[in-house]
Chains A and B, each alone.
Chain A
Amino acid sequence: MTTTTTQWIDAGAQDSVPLDDVIGVAVDGRQIALYSVDGDVYATDNICTHGHALLCEGFLEGHEIECPLHQGKFDVRTGQPTCAPATEPLRSYPVKIEGGRVWLAID
């Protein structure tokens, strides 16, 4: 067993993520989608696992993000697909809010 220290990376100001909406950001060379739902912030990869579209241009309803290209859906809390044609999960990232900033754990 090895222990790793979680690396928290600053993904931007919390108030840059509009309430009940989604934005795209670049963090550590990755394209990340940040979601704000009911005051909580979630983070997943920004590129749909089905059709290479940007989820930040999609449609957020509750905890589901719908891809703008083919309307596949994912749960933003887990990255799990919830509606066809999405079948493969998105990578999701642990989030903490500190000092008004959104921090992501990226290994």
Chain B
Amino acid sequence: MDSGRPPVAAAACADATIVIIGAGQAGGWAAQTVRKEGFAGRLVLIGDELHPPHERPPLSKAVLAGEAAPESTRLMKPDAFDALALDWRPGARATRIDRTSKRLEMADGTTLNYDKLILCTGGRARLLALAGADAPGVHTLRTIDDALALAPVLKPGGSVVVVGGGWIGLEVAATARKKGADVVVVEAQSRLCERTVPREISEHLLALHRSNGTQIVLGAGVTGLSRDQHGKAVVTLADGSALACDAIVVGIGLVPNDELARDAGLECDGGVIVDARCRTSDPDILAAGDVAVTPNPWVGQRVRLESWQNAQDQGIAAARSALGLEVDYQPLPWFWSDQYGMNLQIYGIPKPAHRVVVRGVPGSESFVLFYLDGDVVKAALGPNAARDLRFARRLIEQRKPVDAQRLADTSVAMAKI
């Protein structure tokens, strides 16, 4: 421990209680970190699912494909989880935060006092605003249970319509094709992943999916969900056409679970607003992961990051902050997606004002797009280029001017730039 700092904050006393709401990746890392930093008090972990903390990326891939057991996604082995000595409450829900008396009201009618509260409530899959949006045969993919419910349809002869050509939709489509099902992806925008990647990458994804036999319909709004006389689920599009299938998978984004925070009067804006120490507008309440809206200097504004990296690292940061330790959480956003064996990675946030430098040939299996502000790299992304992109991350973090010509020259090793 650093000298010159009070050794233990009030919340770190052995008779203190830290409550974490949400037992996903952020909540799981927060719990592990609180203990790792030596907190000996009561630690309560509340999860609305029955599963212990786990990572979600495999749920749309290996778990959905039946290649990995749901248990393989767990953050901790059972003995490590037991060693945290948690008051673990699976299948439980908090219904109200009483900030004045620092007390939670639970759905089962009990109450729970806290000294520090960490909100890791994540989000839920957005549903279509249409009749039948939650009917049988209409799936979303967020949880282990979602993956297990969809998996049986993904087989030769099975058919799936994916509504939404974003990351979840495309990963589900890739897994479904791999398992031999027929797949149609319906996207309302004119290109795939329009919100998160530039046009070159959208085109790369489109070609990748089409070459793997996935049918993609762009610029197509969904106007109806129904069931035909054969028991098939039916998606009706704005042009009047209808697609019948065994399962509809809706992947149109995430709704942050910030209701508890909003009802408690915490500052929210499409999620719970926190500072670089992960504190909400109430300093005894922190937030981390998919639900948290955080100022990010790399983005230049407040942002809610929906990523594996953020769930882990902000969960760790919030736990440390709750214990009074030094925290300055300003991550360079990092995101990846795996589809048909292709690994796409993104560092930073590409912006229209940036100058684009291309390394390699767009459309080929592996290439990198760099986004520069003047001569400084601000973002980089590309398929099957993990190693080059790892060097790109260093360039972004160093904020040093680079020679764009050398950056574009594949004969110059990234390590030498």
Which A residues from 38 to 80 make CB contacts under 8 A with B? Answer: 57, 59, 66, 68, 70-71
Task: Give chain A nearest CB distance to B412 CB in angstroms.
Answer: 17
Assess whether A59 is in contact with B390, with CB atoms less than 8 Å apart.
Answer: yes
CB pair A68 B80 closer than 8 Å:
no
Check B386 against A87 for contact (C-beta < 8 Å): no
Binding site for A on B (CB under 8 A): 29, 32, 75-76, 80, 308-309, 312-313, 316, 334, 386-387, 390
Pairs A–B under 8 Å by Cβ, sample size 20: A57-B386, A57-B387, A59-B387, A59-B390, A66-B390, A68-B386, A68-B387, A68-B390, A70-B308, A71-B309, A71-B334, A84-B29, A84-B312, A84-B313, A84-B316, A85-B75, A85-B312, A87-B32, A87-B76, A87-B80
Complex interface: chain B residues within 8 A of A68 (CB)? 386-387, 390
Q: Give the bracket for the number of chain A residues in contact with chain B.
A: under 10
User: Closest residue of chain A to B29, judged by CB?
Assistant: A84
Say what secondary structure dominates the interface of chain B: helix
B80 to chain A, nearest CB (A): 7
Alpha-carbon distance between A57 and B388 when the two chains are bound, in angstroms: 11
Across-interface contacts of A59 in B (CB, < 8 A): 387, 390
Q: How far is the CB of B386 from chain A (nearest CB, A)?
A: 5
Given contacts A57-B386, A85-B75, 16 further A-B contacts (CB under 8 A): A59-B387, A59-B390, A66-B390, A68-B387, A68-B390, A70-B308, A71-B309, A71-B334, A84-B29, A84-B312, A84-B313, A84-B316, A85-B312, A87-B32, A87-B76, A87-B80
**A2 vs B162: C-alpha distance when bound (angstroms):** 64
Separation of A66 and B393 alpha carbons in the complex (Å):
13
CA distance A34 to B75 in the complex (A): 28
Main secondary structure of the interface of A (DSSP, over half): loop
B207 to chain A, nearest CB (A): 25
Separation of A85 and B75 alpha carbons in the complex (Å): 9
**What are the residues of chain A within 8 A of B313 when measuring CB–CB?**
84
Docked CA distance A71–B308 (Å): 11
Question: Which A residue's beta carbon lies closest to that of B80?
Answer: A87
Taking the closest CB of chain A, its distance from the CB of B57, in whole angstroms, is: 9
Q: Distance (Å) between the CB of A64 and the closest chain B CB?
A: 13
A87 to B316, CA, bound (A): 13
Shortest distance between the CB of B156 and any CB in chain A (Å):
28
> In whole Å, how far is A82's beta carbon from the nearest beta carbon of chain B?
13
CA distance A70 to B316 in the complex (A): 15
Tell me the smallest distance from the CB of B389 to a CB of chain A, in Å. Answer: 10
Q: Smallest CB–CB gap between B74 and chain A, Å?
A: 12
Which among A66, A84, A87 has the greatest number of chain B C-beta atoms within 10 A? Answer: A84
Per the bound structure, the CA–CA distance linking A13 and B188 in Å amounts to: 57
Instruction: For the complex of A and B, list the 8 residue pairs with the smallest distance between their C-beta atoms, beginning with the closest.
Output: A59-B390, A68-B386, A84-B312, A85-B312, A84-B316, A84-B29, A57-B387, A68-B387
Residues of B close to A70: CB separation below 8 A: 308
Q: Which residues of A contact B309 (CB under 8 A)?
A: 71
Q: Which residues of A contact B312 (CB under 8 A)?
A: 84-85
Q: How far is the CA of A71 from the CA of B80 in the complex (A)?
A: 21
Closest-by-CB residue of B relative to A68 is B386
Q: Which residues of A contact B386 (CB under 8 A)?
A: 57, 68
Neighbouring B residues of A87 by C-beta, 8 Å:
32, 76, 80
Q: Which residue of B lies closest to A21 (CB)?
A: B415
Chain A min CB distance to B417 (Å): 15
CA distance A71 to B29 in the complex (A): 15
Contact residues in B for A71 (Cβ distance below 8 Å): 309, 334
* Chain B residues whose C-beta falls within 8 Å of the C-beta of A57 in the assembled complex: 386-387
Which residue of chain A has the shortest Cβ distance to B33 in the bound complex?
A84
Q: Of all chain A residues, which has the CB nearest B391?
A: A59
Contact residues in B for A85 (Cβ distance below 8 Å): 75, 312
